[in-house]
Each structure stands twice: as C-alpha cells, then as structure tokens.
Structure 1
C-alpha cells in the first residue's frame, strides 16, 4: 500500500530551505573587488587599503588625532568601481566589552579589554588582526614572548605591509571609534599593530585610521550554500518525477 503524505512536496521544499538557512558559515574575509573586503562574522565591509586617508590624498601621511580620524571616516565617500556605487556610511572600527562589562585589568590571553590576543568580535580591529589576518602579538596567550609578532611576522616594529588581502597595513597602530569610558573626553580605544595589543591612548595623539561600514556590498551565497542548494534541487526534482509516475 502506498501512503501519501499531504503536501509532501512543499514539506520537503521547506526542509531543504531550512537546512540552507541553518548552514553554519565559515568565518572568512572576502575580497569583494573594488577595494573592499567583507567580514562575514562582523558583517562589515572594510576598505582594502588600511591607509586610504593617505593614498586618497586626504592626509599627507595618514596620521591623525582621534577627532580628525573620526571626521575623515564619517565624511568619506568611496566609489566602488566594480559595482559602480558610492558608499558614504563609513566609521572607525568599534569596541564593545569582551565580557559582560568593561574589564580594565591587563592580560595576555584576550580575556580582558586591555589585552593581547583578543579574538572576540567585540573588538573589530583586534579581530581583524588576529583572526582574519592571522597575525601574532608580542606575547602569546600564555604570556611568553613571540619573535614572529607584528605586521611583518618577524618582530619588525615600523613601516607598512600588505597582509593577506589587506593593503598598506600600518605600524604603530589605529584608532577605534570608541571613547575610553574612564576618561571619555581625553582617551579613546586604540589597537597597537606594533605588538598586537589593545589599550587606550590620548585623543590628541596621532595614529592611523581604517574605515569600515555595515553590511556587505555583494550578497553572494558561499560555496557550502551552493552545494546544499544543488542537493535540494536534486531532491525536489526526484519528488516531481515520482509524482508524475
């Protein structure tokens, strides 16, 4: 006896679609072309040029105090030559607490906010440095010295380097867009690319600025999603053939 389940075709389609939605994404930094990089965990798009303020001619060397760096990012209009689009919703990278609240204790394990080895997405610059670019800090999480620290991977502490898809990554460090809560009128969070540490610095100092914007410029399914879509299409085609018979 053949048992027919009502709307079985629709149910299977819903199941396949649900599996596609629940497919875990592998964290990655995608080169979208046109000078843009997409982080699929933070769901933000970075300028590929980590010193675009200088490259674009806005500033002679890219070094700016915190107020000037924020003004540059917030007023930036970047033309995407691949999609022939202009984007104006830029900002500096942000910080939120690594834990449930700000922790101003020093650590090397990435467990506090004044720390090396922060891989939490709550620190956008540190996440880029450690996770997306695979760079090392002066100290390991256990607190031992690592000779291959920094943006060159060999302990060199000055200059610029292309790392992975990122271009013109600078040393000594970058401003975040977040004021330092204990002294919000005086200090801001910074990420020190010389040594891979996150800390605070006086807003009058001069550091580099790396612009970021929310979302993706090209919502393209990743390879895993394509594979699952093909499997689902095959299942649906098989059901359709059986119904015809």
Structure 2
C-alpha cells in the first residue's frame, strides 16, 4: 500500500510541475525575461530598461514632474532598440539581437471601439501583444502577475497608425498619438529564449519517477 501512495505522490508532483510549465507566463534567464506561451512572445522583465541603460542613445527623458525617467519619442525608441540589439560586441542584449517594440493588431474585434476607418481602439483590446498581456495574462491589473519590474503608464507600439506620423500606444486604453510625443518602451521579441525545451526535461523527470515506483514495487514482491 505504501508503494501505491508513493507512486501517487510522484504523479502528483509531476502534474503540478506540468501545470506550472503550461502557465501562460513563464520566467526565463533567471527572471530577466518572461515568456508568454499563448503568443510565443518573450518580454523583458524590466519594463523600463531605458531608465537605467541608455545604450549610448541621447533623447531619453529624465525623471520630471512625478514621471519616472525612461520615456522617449517613437523615433528615439527605434534608435534605442537598434543600439540595444548591437550591444555586447554585436551579440545584443542578453545575447539576443531582435528585441523590438510590441505589435498592435488592426483591426481588432475585441476592442471596445470600432471606427468607420477600420481602426480598432479603446479598452479591452486583447488582440495586440500588450493588450493580451494586460487583459488576458494579468487580468486587467498592471503587473498583475508580479513577474515584471518598473512598470510604467503608457507604452509605445511598433505599429504605425493610418497616418504614418502616428503610432499606436497602450496604457489599458489603446490609441494612437504623434510619434514625436514621449512614452515608455516595453521590450519584446518573437519566440522563446529557453536554452533547453522544458517539456523534454519534464518527460525525463516523469520517466525517472515512474521507474523508481516500478523498482520499489518489484522489491516489495521479492521480499514478500
């Protein structure tokens, strides 16, 4: 009987581990990055890296009027990301050279406002990367997951508006604004950055547990 209980305990541990891995937000690089398994997108955990690392780019605003340092125009954001992706001798920040601004899907049927022009804006926009993170993964609460740091108010998107002088931004409300205005930069990249596929490691872990259970049962039968 105790071997059956041991086996049940092992299976319980395995299932609990699988549940954690299948969660939509998974930490990477010791917590420096967060992988969204739903969208296959990796976020930097530091949601205002520009406040502490300019990568030599001018035009990043200092703290002022109660606002944190790190905001910048859309154009400066592009320059900053380019410098970020060529840092560390060309290897890029944390070893990756394809960091970018988040994308905004247009049109997006989930948005609260659908304009005659075909633009989708307003609240509850879950189709965009930032909207999905905010409304789906974090239940409409800034840093509701507790996995991010230095979360700010409004962030630039990489996606232009119908007017190319404007780009999308997000702060819970999705809208457009002139690229010359200053907002914060939340960094993303497409895909995962895990060095070893976690499901394979879990398979080995589970196989080992089941092997131990089998050995224990065999030993019990021989002794009896």
Q: What is aligned with 2:72? A: 64
Q: What is aligned with 2:122? A: 115
CA offset digits 1:13-54 (Å, max 9, x no partner): xxxxxxxxxx99845111112511111111121111000011
Alpha-carbon distance in 1 for matches of 2:167, 2:108: 19
Residue of structure 2 aligned with 1:221, choices 177, 187, 198: 198
1:53 equivalent to 2:34? Answer: no
Q: Which structure: greater strand fraction?
A: 1
Alpha-carbon distance in 1 for matches of 2:144, 2:96: 24
Q: What is aligned with 2:24? A: 28
Q: Which runs of 5+ in 1 are unaligned?
A: 1-22, 107-111, 137-150, 152-160, 239-245
Tell me, what secondary structure is at the counterpart of 1:91?
coil
1:190 equivalent to 2:177? Answer: no
Q: Which structure: greater helix fraction?
A: 2
1:93 equivalent to 2:75? Answer: no
Stretches (4+) displaced over 6 A: none
User: What is the aligned length?
Assistant: 172
Q: What is aligned with 2:160? A: 179
Q: Contact (CA 8 Å) 2:138, 2:144: kept in 1 or not?
A: no
CA offset digits 1:165-193 (Å, max 9, x no partner): 0101001x00000000x21x21101102x
TM-score, normalization: structure 2?
A: 0.63
Tell me, what secondary structure is at the counterpart of 1:166?
coil
Q: What is aligned with 1:204? A: 180
TM-score, normalization: structure 1?
A: 0.58
Alpha-carbon distance in 2 for matches of 1:179, 1:128: 20
Q: Which runs of 5+ in 2 are unaligned?
A: 1-17, 63-68, 215-224
Shift of 1:115: 2.3
Q: Contact (CA 8 Å) 1:43, 1:216: kept in 2 or not?
A: yes
Superposed CA RMSD: 3.6
